[in-house]
Amino acid sequence: MCMETTPWEDAVNFHGHTCPGLAIGYRVAEIALRELGVHRAGDEELVAIVENDSCAVDAIQSMTGCTMGKGNMLFRDHGKQVYTIGNRKNGEAVRIAIKVSALHSETENKHQRVHEVLDLPEDKFCTFSKVALELPGMARLFKSLECAECGESVAESRARVKDGKIVCIPCAGEYSRGWSK
Ligand SMILES: [Zn+2]
Ligand SMILES: [Zn+2]
């Protein structure tokens, strides 16, 4: 039995539901893969820089293979509907900005909205341009230290100093999200 799933179905399975945000990410990934002339990344040659943490990001993870865990998806907390996907092999990247008008709709119906996003002509959906891939400190491996308070490991780059001792962020009493850059 051979049940081939489409990239859209894969994205829905990965994300857990169908939604307009996922449809945005699906189109972004489709455009990026086409413009870069590549397929889903088997290894880490592709890199995605996402400027928000919406549902769209999951479609991009599913379709490009760029994930947080592999370190080839970088989250920049700008609250912008902008996605840059690049190829580390040749330094080529495409920066995709979703048009403000594409984010607004007359319909409240989620199913209709998904189809609106998927069917929107590309020039009404986004603008995109080729850019050079700039990746300071990609996938760096940081030394692990032991927190003086809880004894758990903390990456050197994220460690804090409290009363002269090296501690992790929770023990330092910082309650930010921690992982935004
Ligand atoms: Zn969603
Ligand atoms: Zn700690």
The string of pLDDT tens digits covering residues 75-132 is 988 899 999 999 988 899 999 999 999 998 888 898 999 999 999 999 999 999 999 9
Residue 27 CA to ligand 1 centre (angstroms): 14
What's the CATH number where 51 sits? 3.30.1330.130
Residue range(s) defining the domain that contains residue 35: 7-132
Nearest 5°: phi and psi at 119?
Answer: -95, -10
Per-residue model confidence as pLDDT tens digits over 61-84: 999 999 988 889 999 888 999 999
Ligand nearest to the CA of 150: 2
Ligand nearest to the CA of 158: 2
Per-residue model confidence as pLDDT tens digits over 9-23: 999 999 999 999 999
Count of domains observed in the chain: 2
Query: Measuring CA to CA, which residue among 121, 128, 126, 173 is closest to residue 150?
Result: 173
Whether residue 110 sits in one domain with residue 49: yes
Residue 148 CA to ligand 2 centre (angstroms): 7
CA atoms within a 13 Å half-sphere pointing along the CA-CB vector of 8: 10
Whether residue 152 sits in one domain with residue 172: yes
What's the CATH number where 167 sits? 3.30.60
Residue 172 CA to ligand 2 centre (angstroms): 7
Entry pTM: 0.78
